């Protein structure tokens, strides 16, 4: 495949993702991503050299309905966004494979280790490597355009993508904003993402489910608070 063919294929899959509802699309070099806590078998991960990160926006109108706890409106929206992301990732992977490449779509929301909130890989870490945002104090991806009001999916591939500019951090970060710290009911959010209390967050998610607010471990309170940059 010539460079011009590669460029056309990349344009095709990017346009496909955007047409399906994505608001962000980036490419990352997997060699630049810390993979120590990924839960994909090493022999599977070794087949791929690059990753595509795809972002869709969360509805601000839906988020505005969240008060002290998540609700069924948000829970349904959350699941529909995950389904949308999985469909986009599948179509992108199919387009790459139809062009003779290998591609592995990773489920948007499929935790393998619930207590530690770990999935097959870190979608947010891939997105940071693809230049789409940074990890905020709430331990979520923060984008300049949508704050943390996004959801993510990843497609691994051996397609020789040109990685997007490296992470926006520290050129952009959360600055003086601490809105997420103020609203977190678990007190899990600290001054830095590295100090985020996963166990406290998980305990709060379990409590929300026990109280019958939602049927899965979701929250959305800090997502609602994390607004786009002006």
What 3-state class would DSSP assign to 26? strand
**197 catalytically annotated:** no
Strand partners, 103: 157
- Measure the CA–CA gap between 230 and 224, rounded to whole angstroms: 16
CA terminus-to-terminus distance, the chain:
42
Point out the catalytic residue in the list 113, 164, 173, 197. Answer: 113
Structure tokens at 114: 């619930």
| Residue 170 preceded by cis peptide, ω within 30 | yes
* C-alpha torsion 159→35→184→71, nearest 10: 50
- Residues 6 or more apart whose CB falls under 8 angstroms from that of 55 comprise 22, 23, 24, 25, 127, 132, 141, 143, 146, 150, 151, 152
**Euclidean distance between CA atoms 155 and 147, whole angstroms:** 22
Vertex 142: Cα angle to 102 and 68 (nearest 5): 120
Q: Enumerate the active-site residues.
A: 113
């Amino acid at each position: 495949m010539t460079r011009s063919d590669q460029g056309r294929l990349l344009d095709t899959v990017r346009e496909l993702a955007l047409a399906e509802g994505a608001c962000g699309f980036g490419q990352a070099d997997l060699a630049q991503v810390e993979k120590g806590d990924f839960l994909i078998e090493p022999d599977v991960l070794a087949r791929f050299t690059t990753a595509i990160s795809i972002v869709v926006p969360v509805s601000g109108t839906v988020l505005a309905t969240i008060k002290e706890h998540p609700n069924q409106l948000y829970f349904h929206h959350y699941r529909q966004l995950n389904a949308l992301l999985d469909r986009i990732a599948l179509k992108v992977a199919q387009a790459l494979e139809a062009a003779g490449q290998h591609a592995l779509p990773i489920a948007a929301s499929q935790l393998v280790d619930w207590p530690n909130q770990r999935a097959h890989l870190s979608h947010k870490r891939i997105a940071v490597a693809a230049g789409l945002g940074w990890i905020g104090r709430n331990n979520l991806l923060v984008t300049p355009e949508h704050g943390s009001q996004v959801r993510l999916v990843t497609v691994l591939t051996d397609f020789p993508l040109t990685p997007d500019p490296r992470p926006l951090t520290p050129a952009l970060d959360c600055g003086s904003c601490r809105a997420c710290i103020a609203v977190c009911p678990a007190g899990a959010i600290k001054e830095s993402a590295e100090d985020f209390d996963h166990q406290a967050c998980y305990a709060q998610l379990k409590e929300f489910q026990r109280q019958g607010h939602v049927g899965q471990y979701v929250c959305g309170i800090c997502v609602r608070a994390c607004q786009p940059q002006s």
